[in-house]
Structure 1
Amino acid sequence: MGEGNSDDERYGLFGWKTADISAAQARRGRDIQGIPWNGLNITREDHRVTRLKQYKNYENVPNSGTHSEKDCNPTEKGSSYYDFWQNTRSVKSTVLHFQLRNLVWATSKHDVYLMSRYSVLHWSALSRNKFEVMNLSGHVAPCEKHQGSILEGFSQTQVSTLAVKDKLLIVGGVQGEIICKYLDRDGISFCWRATYDENAITNAIEIYNSSSGAVHFMASNNDSGVRDFDMEKFQPCKEFHFEWPVNVSSSCASLSPDGQLLVVVGDYPEGQLLDAHTGKTIDTLQGHSDFSFASAWHPDGYIIATGNQDKTCRIWDVRNLSKSLVVLRGNLGAIRSIRFTSDGQFMAMAEPADFVHIFDVGSGYKQRQEVDFFGEISGVSFSPDTESLFIGIWDHSYGSLLQYNRNRNYSYLDCLL
């Protein structure tokens, strides 16, 4: 059932009463998170300086963030390609695992799916209503019968990652659970456990269409396995294992657009480029100094972006992996999520908190925009038509959803690219 915006007041990071913030309010000088800086004992600028000094980046390899600094391209702040549209507090975006930030998916410029504690919510920016799509606080079980499906279902599933494409929603849990639901059908379609290993957490899910057009998903887990599943037949079809957990939060083992190549990053500084059919290693990605938690393919099928706890995102060309093309650096910490727009013009790079960077791909990855706020990032997603950018924020006391819309003042420049 849909719900409109609640009128109750909520209290945010600094103890102030919060409300939804619109673009009109932001143009009049209102903070996009509703923080009343004039009534506080600190300015926004001073708090940002303090936050930058005090934030501690999580590292598995000591001092990896310091060592990577020498390789980075200087960051320039340019013009804004996406304008703030609204900050919605009626949907509380939350984070379960501090390293996994793939919990927000946009399916149109108005529609986005996200985790809010035990609920998968659908938010419509057009109607400003939220709908609960799946409640995992109790027991869920499939209403369809398919070979291999766990008919007894699962109870109190803690969701570590999710993916949505077309009409298919898949959530992954901390105990290896995989739950599939078609958004145009009632009930749950399929329940499966990827692994019964003690370290079974599902780190990422990617839904894609195979060369035959069949719908597949690929799941990576902390048992060092990557599994490919055919949703047309509801059957697993491939499984690859590695010497380290495949621990990424964006496009687990990410597939190239043509489905021929697979890039795998995880609990090891080096990534691997594989043949997607055989699992054979074709080449390695050497340059990061810590564990990687994000990867994404550019739509052209040649360029890969990888995000690491050494605070960098590296851009690679699969035709020559001897050295990364560009090294981009964040402000606070690890790069936990990376997204390209479907037209390949822009790339969003999300840190664990406070910053999402937007780069212009055609200009050699010059930073065109820096979205700056306060709070943990649960996920970042461009709409398929590139018109909207959604960012989930969580700060342990409340959650919200930022929406930025494409600035069409640049439409003339866009047509020249």
Structure 2
Amino acid sequence: IAASVQAESMAAHTQAAAYASVAAPPATDFGLDDIGTYIYQISVSNPNPTTIGPSNLGLTDFLRHWARQSRILQGMARGICPWPAKINSLETSQAASVEYEDLEGDECDLQGVDWEDIGVTRRDARERRLLTYSNYVNLPGSDRWTPNLPDVALPRSESFFRFRRMDIRQNIHLAHFQLRHVFATSSRSRVFYPSIGAVQQFNPLSGHGRAIMRLSDAPASQISTLATGHGVLIAGGFGGEYILRHLDSGEPEDAACHEGVITSSISGITNHIDVHQARTSSVPLAAFASNDNVLRVLDVNTETWLSQETHDFAPNCTATSPDGRLRVMVGDTLDVVITAAESRLSGSGEPDITHRLSGHRDYGFACDWADDGWTIATAFQDKTVKIWDARRLTDSAGNAASLCTIRSEMAGVRSLRFSPVGSGRRVLVAAEEADFVNVIDARTFRSKQTIDVFGELGGISFENAGQDLMVLCCDRTRGGILQLERCGQGLEEEDRDWPRSVFTEGRRFRESASRRRRKAAALDVEVDPF
């Protein structure tokens, strides 16, 4: 995170309690005469009141702004616009969930929005959103496309996943507009996301939720990143602190959470946490990428720091290779950095950098390393995702050699996930800053599927051996947990899965092709794409 943004964020979170205490305006109907002056004191400027960032609106404020502009332009060619009274009804309605059977085109979409009742079509709303949404960049003009760039817009010709369910959750709190790794899952029935002052656990199968972690009462205590893996849940905060909980330890509730300090630096925001297994043992490790330019590795079992390395930029996201030898890192730099996960320079504090790869045009906030051991994806604010082959990161002249550069739909991609081995057709899921989830064919990188909602996105996760994809939507009125499931489960050809190698066999889902076909045939309904 850039230093200026860091300072603004800390100041904002010091005033979080004051923002939260401001009463919301009455949700009463209002007519066209006063629509030009009816403005929410806080929510109109940002979908999350305490979030510093570009003034992109949440769903209901987006609709109100659309209606207000149409009122200002009365007498000219107005066109169709949302009805203010219907927007209020949408905001005050108490939808709990949306099932596949509830979908009715414009009468009920993935978020349960009745666009016909509001007075516009979903297609019109999407077109307007594309025209008005502002993609945040640190370097002006970096996301502008020109014909000489290698960026490729992929055709939307695939159907990898279909909609299963959307659980509406109105207590989601996105604390920082650039950091979108605040969603974690440990199973289909345990998903975790941040609320104000706590981490919430939600069971999509039963619909029950509770606070599983509570932060200190300090004004700046907000969740900036969340990660789970190897039986542990870890949250990083704005003040350089972390909270750790062993999910299945059986510890009493009042002693289950362990707090610690990562750094006392004023620039101590925890940008990202990567939970992985040590290369030479079964010990879980956590790599903390902090905004003070330092990457620190924690032994989760003993809660002791094993190493730290200082970079010349703030790391915003890291991913460890399947064999545990290398680490890919992106941050407040235009380069993709590959380092040794276990540095030969241990104790010096200097990173053991093996490659610096150029090609991006802004700062980076997402990366992932596929289970095949050599496919790497990086995403920067320039609205591009680059694919790299770890076996050939540079050409014969030493220049960075990416396999392809994929352009996003509306905003920069801030979350990346490769599908796990054994889950069927291999895909790369790229969630943008808001609205769009791109499911890219990771075999050819020439086509994709897009799923779109209205709202800022907080993260993505695979569960059920890669058969389920979960997405966190952070809209304050129609946000929640979007659940998608594989289309044609069990029918994919095996050669479209990740190829067999020393990296994949230990991770491959142990289920025969014939059993997957029987499972698909036994489904009560035909699994067609949505």
TM-score by length of 1: 0.88
Q: Which moved more, 1:22-31 or 1:322-331?
A: 22-31
Q: Aligned equivalents of 1:155 and 1:57: distance in 2?
A: 29
> Match of 1:368?
448
Percent of matched pairs sharing the same residue: 30
Cα separation, 2, equivalents of 1:341 and 1:415: 14
Deviations along 1:36-57, whole A, 9 cap, x unmatched? 1112232211111111111111
Q: Which residue of 1 aligns with 2:103?
A: 26
Residues 354-383 of structure 1: CA distance to partner in whole angstroms, max 9, x if unpaired?
000001212x12333101111010111111
Amino acid of the structure 1 residue aligned with 2:100: A
> Taking structure 1 as reference, are residues 156 and 309 closer, same or farther at Cα in structure 2, changes over 3 Å only?
closer
Shift of residue 189 of structure 1? 4.5
**Distance in 2, Cα, partners of 1:394 & 1:233:** 34
Alignment correspondent of 2:231: 167
* Cross-structure match for 2:11: none
Q: 1:115 to 1:189 in 2, by over 3 A?
A: closer
Instruction: State the alpha-carbon separation in 2 of the partners of residues 261 and 354 from structure 1.
Output: 32
- Following the alignment from structure 2 to structure 1, what is the Cα–Cα distance between the partners of residues 146 and 461? 27
Determine whether 1:357 maps to 2:410: no
| Cα shift at 1:130 | 1.3
Q: SS of 1:94's equivalent?
A: coil
1:377 corresponds to: 457
* Contact 1:106-1:384 at 8 Å conserved across structures: no
Match of 1:275 in 2: 340
- Select the residue among 278, 286, 289 that pairs with 2:358: 286
Tell me whether 1:98 sits opposite 2:177 in the alignment: yes
The DSSP-based 3-state class of the residue aligned with 2:144 is helix
Equivalent-residue separation in structure 2 for 1:399 and 1:87 (angstroms): 9
Aligned to 2:116, the other structure's residue is in SS state: helix
Asked whether the 8 Å contact 2:170–2:477 carries over to 1, the reply is: no
Q: Does 1:204 align with 2:281?
A: no
Write 1 or 2 for the structure with the bigger share of strand. Answer: 1
1:61-76 residue pairs with structure 2 within 5 A?
A: 61-67=139-145, 70-76=149-155
The equivalences for 1:13-162 within 5 A come to 13=60, 14-15=87-88, 16=90, 17-19=93-95, 20-26=97-103, 30-67=108-145, 70-90=149-169, 92-136=171-215, 138-139=216-217, 157-162=221-226
* 8 Å Cα contact 1:91/1:401 also seen in 2: no
CA drift of 1:330 comes to 0.9
CA RMSD of aligned residues (A): 2.1
How many Å apart are 1:119 and its aligned residue?
Answer: 2.4
List aligned pairs for 1:308-387, cutoff 5 A. 308-322=380-394, 323-343=401-421, 345-362=426-443, 364-383=444-463, 385-387=465-467
Alignment correspondent of 1:181: 245
Alignment partners' CA distance in 2, 1:23 and 1:94: 26
How far the C-alpha of 1:253 sits from its partner, in A, is 2.3
Partner in structure 1 of residue 480 of structure 2 = 400
SS at match of 1:48: helix
Contact 2:190–2:204 (CA under 8 A) maintained in structure 1: yes
Aligned position for 1:224: 293
Q: CA deviation at 1:164?
A: 1.0
2: CA distance between counterparts of 1:356 and 1:92?
22
SS at match of 1:88: strand
CA–CA distance in structure 1, aligned partners of residues 365 and 463 of structure 2 = 22
Distance in 2 between residues matched to 1:104 and 1:394, nearest whole Å: 10
The Cα shift of 1:192 comes to 1.6
Structure 1 395/232 Cα, relative in aligned 2: closer, same or farther at 3 Å?
A: closer
Matched residue type, 1:351: E
Check conservation: 1:78, 1:367, Cα contact below 8 A.
yes
Task: Tell me how far 1:72 sits from its aligned partner.
Answer: 1.6
Richer in helix (by share):
2
| Aligned-partner Cα distance in 2 for 1:266–1:131 | 33
Structure 1 residue 27: Cα displacement: 5.8
Cross-structure match for 1:195:
263
Aligned partners of 1:68 and 1:253: how far apart in 2?
A: 29
| Structure 2 unaligned regions, length at least 5 | 1-26, 28-57, 61-86, 344-350, 395-400, 497-530
2:31 equivalent in structure 1:
none
With a CA cutoff of 8 Å and minimum separation of 6, indicate the structure with the bigger relative contact order.
1
Name the counterpart of 1:6. Answer: none
Cα shift readout 1:257-308 (whole Å, capped 9, x = no counterpart): 1110011110010121111111311111211000000010001121111110
How far, CA to CA, are the matches of 2:230 and 2:308 in structure 1? 25
SS in 1 for 2:491: helix
Alpha carbons of structure 1 residues 377 and 131: separation in structure 2 relative to 1, 3 Å: same
Separation of aligned partners in 1, 2:206 and 2:239: 36
Residues 81, 410 of structure 1: 8 Å contact kept: no
Judge which range, 396-405 or 288-297, deviates more: 396-405
Supply the distance in 2 between the matched residues of 1:398 and 1:82 (Cα, whole angstroms).
21
Residue 518 of structure 2 corresponds to none
The structure with the larger Rg is 2
Q: Secondary structure at the match of 1:46?
A: helix
Q: Residue 395 of structure 1: SS of its match in structure 2?
A: coil
Instruction: State which drifts further: 24-33 or 174-183.
Output: 24-33
Q: TM-score, normalised by structure 2?
A: 0.70
- 2:286 and 2:420 mapped to 1: Cα distance? 19
